[in-house]
Structure 1
Amino acid sequence: MGILSGLFRSRDKPKNSTSGSSYRFFYGQSSAGKCVTERSAMQMTAVYACVRILSEAVAGLPLHLYRYNSDGSKEKALEHPLYFLLHDEPNPEMTSFAFRETLMTHLLLWGNAYAQIIRNGKGDVVALYPLMPNRMTVNRDKSGNLYYQYNTSSDDARTMKGATVRLSPYEVLHIAGLGFDGLVGYSPIAMAKNAIGLAIAAEEYGSKFYANGASPSGVLEHPGTLKDPSKVRDSWNAAFAGSGNSHRVAVLEEGLKYTPISISPNEAQFLETRKFQIDEIARIFRVPPHMVGDLEKSSFSNIEQQSLEFVKYTLEPWIVRWEQSIFRSLLSRNEKSSYFVKFNVDGLLRGDYASRMSGYATARQNGWMSANDIRELENLDRIPTEKGGDLYLVNGNMLPLNNAGAFANINNKEEENEEILEMDEPDGK
């Protein structure tokens, strides 16, 4: 990683580090003997699947800028320039989906996501460009103020000049994951390098088993002394090594004896190890196993509940980090009292059709949703107001407790008034 000055001169041979910048990463050699970096980790299908699931989930959620009205209600701030940047295009080169997907991937792999904030002369945000976390350093100056130092590359957008650029917090949108100091997050990949390294080692073992394993395999014994044992071995490997030569019949000559010494992958619990590491990686990212293809403990009765828990316990913390970082960095001090940013997760929490209709019916009958409120959630056209689309209805048999019997009292008074009128009327009229 280029963010640690001189530490990651070779991306293939990173070293452990517990000091330096505000980062405390532990990349490098794992206990399984495999080097784990964010790039090698992404070659694991389970890591790739978890990162893709979370990044696409955050990128696919509707993101809106809202404004508070004087009566306490809220509405989308469509006229605000920031609404278009967050909802549609953060810069001329990216869609909102691609921008958020990229930053969320950085957040999951490096524990931090950065974007350069481009402002006009008035201080308004006009563009957001992603910055690579492995080239960013976060430090404090002599006065204790934070600053960001970024090593530019030819792959970057031409928004900065110089090989190394110093940026202020005013110019950087920084979304930090779980960290030691509350300012800079540490990488989930680095913290779980041993689990990921074991998964890499198990996958490599399986690949080499089929690429190099001889079947049958073991020790060739000769009753005498061989002048050139390597020639016999090479001849044996040429005939039986590799998956293409599996199960061929071996013909032994000159008193050769073959003694198998290897054990099958099942006996070595190879498959179980690989499966357990998938669960381990899913646990790192808090992704339900069924979402990465492991359906062993899933059923029709619990998958929906697991999906709801995924939204509440996995997505929501990340979403809150996004919302609060955007609120802190992109809104001015005056705007913070009137505007706020919100991801809409209602689409992920709606459940199946029957459950949604039952919920809508309850909300409609109890007067806290109108027909248009429901139709908007279902992506249906609104009913005109003059036709009752915005009416809030309530069941007639539902009254506040202190009004209990009010209807009966009204009827009794009306009957008493009618009797008085009849008594006052002249006879025959």
Structure 2
Amino acid sequence: MNIFSSFFGGDTEAKAARPFQEVIQEIAADQDTSGDFNALNEEALDATAVLCAVRVIAQGIAQVPFKLLQKQKNDRGLEATAHPLFKVLRHEPNDWQTSYELREQIAFHLILTGNAFVFLNRHNRTAEILELYAYEPGCVTVTQDSEYNLSYRVQTGKRKTIDFIDVPAENMWHIKGPSWNGWMGLNATKLARQAIGLSLAGEQFGANLYKNGARPGGILSTDANLTADQRAELKRAWNEQQSGTKNAHKTAVLGGGMKFQPIASTANEAQWTESRKFQIQEICRAFGVQPVMLMADGATSYNSVEQLLLAHLTHTLMPWYERIEQSAYKALLSKEDKAKGFYIKLDSKALLESSNADRLAYYNAGRTQGWLTTNEIRALEDLPRSDDPMADQLMPAANLFGQTETPLPTENNNEATDVN
């Protein structure tokens, strides 16, 4: 029996999941339940709709540059390449992961469990952040004292070798999803367990349907009295000859007054296909993802798909970007860094790189409206800097300063001018 089966009780009525605090208490009592907690969230990914929904969000978070910037006197942000944290965020968070891989892992934890826990390995003397490590959410216990201070206990080891490490709050980057109490995120897997369980049940139904040759189950009956051994042998022989896709559509030969009575409905009668489509929509609602991002069928044109992709960026990814940026600013930057104008940003402009038309329109607007220089545009395109002194100058916005050239004559203004 798997984790979801324990919640749903197999074919029985669905059961409520254990509260997170109950899991926490059992961990504190030296019972190894972190594996069950992590397995629950991993098993949710067995539902393809959940896997796709989580993946498109996680990849959207991981694929954009994670930048450490410093605000200049003109309020323009400049990449702080000399800061020690720049390399950690942008390229190498630790010895075995890239920035993309760590952020993808963090996103999976955050989206499914509502919490992501990243250990900040600091220098003993300078408190400089040297590395970032992500803990599995089920291994971390969070408590809040009477003065609202948070503390973190991390479970290490398995079964009889369980150990605990107390991590100070200043050494833990705790990213929270939507929260009820303000200090722990809500677990999306548990909140959507009914929809996820139904999706898994639908997939299992389809697998069993085709495993049994897409033929309905039924009852073999006879007027004769059969012993237990005879019934077992009859069942074995029937399954051997008729069950499975390799035996589909074979002709069954019955003797001795044997009768077969089908009792199960077909996939169409059970509305299995429609149910699976509806469950995709349910998963989309739970994770806030557009159905088009889950490759769901729909009557969409090219223009409508383009707008839906923009909606995915605006309504799905941008809230996660803002949540992560604010959390990183709070946890990763010191008071001195904040005073010097350092800030952290997930650069969503990278999502437009696949569209030349969008990029050109963006660059043209920035150049003509006076907020992008030629060399900044060249840097965004990974082109070498121009030596032209004007390449680092902002162009005055035409809508504020007007045209500098004499306009061409029009049809209504082409008559000879009286020089007298």
Task: State the identity as a percent.
Answer: 33
- 1:2-401 mapped onto 2 (5 Å cutoff): 16-18=17-19, 20=21, 37-120=40-123, 121-141=125-145, 143-153=147-157, 163-212=163-212, 215=215, 217-222=217-222, 225-226=225-226, 228-337=230-339, 338-349=341-352, 352-386=355-389, 388-393=390-395, 399=401
Q: Give the direction of change, closer, same or farther, for the CA distance of 1:223–1:166 in structure 2 (3 Å limit).
A: closer
Distance 1:46 1:212 in 2: 25
CA contact (8 A) 2:369 2:397 kept: yes
Letter in 2 for 1:315: L
Letter in 1 for 2:21: G
CA contact (8 A) 2:195 2:279 kept: yes
Distance 2:18 2:177 in 1: 19
User: 1:382, CA displacement in angstroms?
Assistant: 2.7
User: 1:354, CA displacement in angstroms?
Assistant: 2.8
| Equivalent position SS for 1:198 | helix
| Equivalent position SS for 1:139 | strand
Q: Give the direction of change, closer, same or farther, for the CA distance of 1:82–1:355 in structure 2 (3 Å limit).
A: closer
User: 1:16, CA displacement in angstroms?
Assistant: 3.1
Q: Give the direction of change, closer, same or farther, for the CA distance of 1:384–1:262 in structure 2 (3 Å limit).
A: same
User: 1:334, CA displacement in angstroms?
Assistant: 2.2
Which residue matches 2:412?
A: none
Q: Give the direction of change, closer, same or farther, for the CA distance of 1:359–1:143 in structure 2 (3 Å limit).
A: closer
Higher helix share: 2
Distance 1:214 1:391 in 2: 70
Which residue matches 2:407?
A: none
CA contact (8 A) 2:216 2:266 kept: no
Greater shift in the superposed pair: 190-199 or 116-125: 116-125
| Equivalent position SS for 2:132 | strand
CA contact (8 A) 2:122 2:131 kept: yes
TM-score (normalised: structure 2): 0.80
Letter in 2 for 1:201: A
User: 1:173, CA displacement in angstroms?
Assistant: 0.6
CA contact (8 A) 1:311 1:349 kept: no
Greater gyration radius: 1
CA contact (8 A) 1:44 1:200 kept: yes
| Equivalent position SS for 1:52 | helix
CA contact (8 A) 2:352 2:358 kept: no
Q: Give the direction of change, closer, same or farther, for the CA distance of 1:114–1:390 in structure 2 (3 Å limit).
A: same
Distance 2:201 2:219 in 1: 25
CA contact (8 A) 1:46 1:292 kept: yes
User: 1:294, CA displacement in angstroms?
Assistant: 1.5
Distance 1:396 1:329 in 2: 42
CA contact (8 A) 1:152 1:164 kept: yes
User: 1:229, CA displacement in angstroms?
Assistant: 4.4
Q: Give the direction of change, closer, same or farther, for the CA distance of 1:369–1:216 in structure 2 (3 Å limit).
A: closer
Distance 1:238 1:214 in 2: 15
User: 1:393, CA displacement in angstroms?
Assistant: 3.7
Letter in 1 for 2:138: N
CA contact (8 A) 1:214 1:237 kept: no
CA contact (8 A) 2:369 2:398 kept: no
Distance 1:380 1:299 in 2: 35
CA contact (8 A) 2:115 2:175 kept: yes
| Equivalent position SS for 1:105 | helix
User: 1:17, CA displacement in angstroms?
Assistant: 3.5
Letter in 2 for 1:344: D
Distance 1:392 1:47 in 2: 46
User: 1:258, CA displacement in angstroms?
Assistant: 3.0
Letter in 1 for 2:372: M
Distance 2:321 2:359 in 1: 24
Greater shift in the superposed pair: 212-221 or 141-150: 212-221
| Equivalent position SS for 2:335 | coil
Distance 1:366 1:232 in 2: 83
Deviations 1:265-309 (A, max 9, x none): 011101111121122212222222222222423331111111111
Deviations 1:66-105 (A, max 9, x none): 1122343331111111111111111222221111111111
Letter in 2 for 1:55: A
Distance 2:218 2:373 in 1: 76
Unmatched tracts of structure 2, length 5 or more: 8-15, 26-38, 405-420
| Equivalent position SS for 1:303 | helix
RMSD between superposed Cα atoms in Å: 3.2
Letter in 2 for 1:203: E
Distance 2:109 2:325 in 1: 17
TM-score (normalised: structure 1): 0.78
User: 1:140, CA displacement in angstroms?
Assistant: 2.5
